[in-house]
Copies of this chain bind each other. A is one copy, B any other.
Amino acid sequence: MAVVTTIERISKYVDQDVTIKGWLFNKRSSGKIQFLQIRDGSGFIQGVVVKNDVDPEIFERCKTITQESSIVVTGCVRADDRAPSGFELTVKDVEVVAIAQEYPISLKEHGTDFLMDHRHLWIRTPKQHAVLRIRDEINRAIRDFFHERDFVLVEPPIITPASCEGTTELFEIDYFGQNAYLSQTGQLYAEAAAMAFGKVYSFGPTFRAEKSKTRKHLNEFWMVEPEMAYVDFEGNLKIQEDMVEYIVQRVLENRKMELKTLERNTESLEKVKAPFPRITYTDAVKLLQDNGFQFEWGDDFGAPHETFIAEQYEKPVFITHFPTKMKAFYMQPDPDNPEVILGADLIAPEGYGEIIGGSQRIHDLDLILHKLEEEKLPKEIYEWYIDLRRYGSVPHSGYGLGLERTVAWLCGIDHIRQTIPFARTLNRVYP
């Protein structure tokens, strides 16, 4: 009896018979030999069907199998250095579960709209499959990193009474007759949780009703947002660089095959080890000016600026001490120079831009009250947030890492819509 296993685990069964339950991804034939490209969700493998070695009925059956038909294949595992996975299957039996209709995604090029309309099928193809396997690995790495360090996962609510950051780009919902909004960050709730659990992280979907159509924006995306009591600006940067190193090294270690499928150059990723370089916002402005950019202190960086700054370094780089006026109301101004904040953005190499934004948070009651007033935010809705400064306030810090931008960087792909199973962009809610 052949062992039922998966392609990912096949290396344990060299020269043994196994059964794989999967789908036909592709096929070619040289008359007396048929080559079946089989996928089972865990990986891809070639099955070789030799006319003289199998029942004639099985050989004929193989001819009828269309792309993406579901099949159960039994065969003997052979080590083969030429195969991308290192193994091949000498097929002994093929059982057809269902013959697929003519498959809409062929191996020729398709337009992006067509592929996004068929996202439910597109994710079966090797590159998209590899991207989402890497996403899963990053997801696990993030969670493992925080759990090894005693962080508690605390999920913030999605339906919230107000804009957490005072912006207007919100999706509104009618919550039983009350106005409510989809959360664009869990941070404020994570701060409350940090005062109860010390170190917490939230990890969930966040929403921005931005009408922008860029390669770096989604309207629904996932963010991990740690918050830590008794952690200051320095401690905040330290954990960020440790986390990013941890994620990158885990992907390099565990997802070699997928990186190969994506033809990702891994040399630059191997260099991602803490500590990371830092530059202040003010020095970054000088750097840009010295290199011919039209840029004033107080301007926000665009993609060309971020890319130019990142190119000065081999690793991700922290841009620190942004102007207070540019950033969210809760960021702690530097006591030595209140015009700038004790926060930083982390810019990924290779033009992938900002992947983290973070800061020490204001813990002084009067200062947070002043800031809320300055931003004209409705005090009654922030009462609970203000309470955190009334009862047991401590210096604390946190940050947000965008999952999809991190996936795009590690996979080396140019558009963020491929980094999430079912992207939501301007004008797209299907499938």
* B156–A421 CB distance below 8 A: yes
From B384, B392, B424, B429, contact of A23 by CB (8 A):
B392
* B152–A431 CB distance below 8 A: no
* B392–A98 CB distance below 8 A: yes
Interface stretch of the complex, out of A194-202, A239-247, A278-286, A334-342 = A194-202
**B-facing mask of A124-154, CB < 8 A → 1, else 0?**
1000110011001001100100010010111
**In the complex, which residues of chain B have a beta carbon less than 8 angstroms from the beta carbon of A394?**
21, 70, 97-98
* A98–B197 CB distance below 8 A: no
Copies of this chain in its oligomeric complex: 2
* B391–A103 CB distance below 8 A: yes
Decide yes or no: A388 and B220 within 8 Å by CB, A172-B173, A173-B173, A198-B41 being known contacts: no
* B42–A198 CB distance below 8 A: yes
**In the complex, which residues of chain B have a beta carbon less than 8 angstroms from the beta carbon of A133?**
152, 197
| Residue A101 is within 8 A (CB to CB) of chain B in the complex | yes
* A68–B392 CB distance below 8 A: yes
**B-facing mask of A363-404, CB < 8 A → 1, else 0?**
100000000000000000101110110111111000000000
Interface stretch of the complex, out of A28-36, A176-184, A299-307, A353-361 = A176-184
Q: Give residues 198-232 of A contacting B (CB, 8 Å).
A: 198-199, 204-205, 207, 209, 211, 219-220, 222, 229-230
Complex CA gap A6/B219 in Å reads 39
Complex CA gap A175/B429 in Å reads 8
Q: Give residues 22-69 of A contacting B (CB, 8 Å).
A: 22-23, 40-42, 68-69
Interface stretch of the complex, out of A81-89, A158-166, A290-298, A309-317 = A158-166
Complex CA gap A204/B421 in Å reads 13
Complex CA gap A128/B152 in Å reads 14
Expressed in whole angstroms, the minimum distance between the Cβ of A255 and any Cβ of chain B is 12
| Residue A256 is within 8 A (CB to CB) of chain B in the complex | no
* A384–B431 CB distance below 8 A: yes
| Residue A109 is within 8 A (CB to CB) of chain B in the complex | no
Q: Nearest residue in B to A152 (C-beta to C-beta)? A: B136
Q: How many residues of chain A get a CB closer than 8 Å to chain B's CBs? A: 93
Expressed in whole angstroms, the minimum distance between the Cβ of A235 and any Cβ of chain B is 11
Decide yes or no: A193 and B123 within 8 Å by CB, A159-B220, A430-B384 being known contacts: yes
| Residue A277 is within 8 A (CB to CB) of chain B in the complex | no
| Residue A350 is within 8 A (CB to CB) of chain B in the complex | no
* A123–B196 CB distance below 8 A: yes
Complex CA gap A427/B22 in Å reads 48
| Residue A308 is within 8 A (CB to CB) of chain B in the complex | no
| Residue A189 is within 8 A (CB to CB) of chain B in the complex | yes
**In the complex, which residues of chain B have a beta carbon less than 8 angstroms from the beta carbon of A174?**
171-172
Q: Residues of A with Cβ closer than 8 Å to B?
A: 6, 8-9, 21-23, 40-42, 68-70, 97-98, 100-101, 103, 118-121, 123-124, 128-129, 132-133, 136, 139-140, 143, 147, 150, 152-161, 171-176, 178, 180, 182, 189, 192-199, 204-205, 207, 209, 211, 219-220, 222, 229-230, 363, 381, 383-385, 387-388, 390-395, 420-422, 424, 426-427, 429-431
Known: A132-B197, A159-B424, A176-B427. 13 other contacts (CB 8 A): A21-B229, A22-B198, A41-B195, A119-B384, A120-B192, A133-B152, A139-B153, A156-B422, A158-B220, A161-B430, A171-B174, A172-B173, A383-B431
